[in-house]
Structure 1
Amino acid sequence: MTARRRHGGLITVGYEPSAVGRAALRRAAQLSRQLDTRLRIVDMGSDADRLGRDVRAEFSGHVPDWVEVESGVVDPAAALVASSVEARAIVMGRDREDTDEWFRAGPRALRCIAEAACPVLLIPLGPIAPPIAQRTVDSRGKEIRPWNASRQEHALSGT
């Protein structure tokens, strides 16, 4: 199975030593397992010890041979864009933790979105939900979902 992963493509993740960086690593590892690809982790911070601990924790102490780590990267955004040529996707944490607006991307993410040759998946810290003003609720405060969303859920669940 390991040999097949080496030929199934690549998922690249930009790792930062933060909660959102760990969330991006977790999602990229999950995608890599689901899509049967290699995983490239590009270190976007300077805490190599933290990176090593988080990578080992994600893979239960043993880092598989289909995972590669690039550390000491001078320009992380350039490394991610370069990796996009062979990657199926780039996964990044939303690196603007200084704002409550989950849809804002930082300069590295914006550069990747603009220049990458593959899709860029931004992972926010916490769940994604539309602003309360865009939700429709009934008299009990329960959210009313659009017809197509509930129909899609029924199709996925087989009910």
Structure 2
Amino acid sequence: MVAERRLADPSAETVSFVGAGVQARSHLAAFSKLFPLKRIRVFGRSKANTDKLCGHARDMGLEAEAAANARDTLRDTDLVLTSITLDYSIEPFLDARWLKQSAFAAITDACIPWSQDGVSAFKTVIVDDRTQEFESDKPMLPYQQVTCDLT
């Protein structure tokens, strides 16, 4: 939330979730305290979890919809959270070029769902620990694209 507070648009109204599990639910609670959210969009592999997250958002007074596909999930969103299963065999299915320029992406899944061809569209990239990212056997994106870390 440190990065969201400093970098995301403080008037963010729409948040999109790729992955609808525990991470998504906890981030929804946190985002709703920081931003004047009005709606969420969800793209998840489990219909049950997607419906549950949408229902939870509606209980909070937000509009909620299940997205038909990955691209629709990212359209016109202010914030996006990706939190898919950490499985490196998953083929990337998201492209950062689909995001509007002012969107903020919180990526908790090691960039697994993001196409490496599109990650250059991220203008500012902040990781937890820059040294750890540099020394990683599976870096999330090209090291030179990392702007700084949370320290």
TM-score, normalised to structure 2's length?
0.51
Matched residues in 2 for 1:55 and 1:74: separation?
14
Match status 1:68 vs 2:58: no
Structure 1 unpaired stretches of 5+: 1-7, 100-104, 135-148, 150-159
Give the structure with the larger helix fraction. 1
Decide whether the 8 Å contact of 2:17 with 2:81 is kept in 1.
yes
Aligned to 1:24: 24
Query: Deviation string for 1:123-144 (max 9, x for gaps)?
Result: 238xx5626968xxxxxxxxxx
Any residues of structure 2 matched to 1:101-116 within 5 Å, and which? 107-109=92-94, 111=95, 113-116=96-99
Q: Partner letter of residue 26 of structure 2?
A: R
Aligned to 1:92: 82
Give structure 1 regions of 4+ aligned residues with deviation exceeding 4 angstroms. Answer: 131-134
RMSD in angstroms over aligned alpha carbons? Answer: 3.5
SS of residue matched to 1:120: strand
SS of residue matched to 1:23: helix
Structure 2 unpaired stretches of 5+: 1-10, 111-127, 137-150
Seq. identity, %: 10
Question: Which among 78, 86, 91 is matched to residue 71 of structure 2?
Answer: 78
Larger radius of gyration: 1
Decide whether the 8 Å contact of 1:12 with 1:80 is kept in 2.
no
Structure 1 residues 25 and 38, CA gap change in structure 2 (3 angstroms): same
Q: CA deviation at 1:122?
A: 0.8
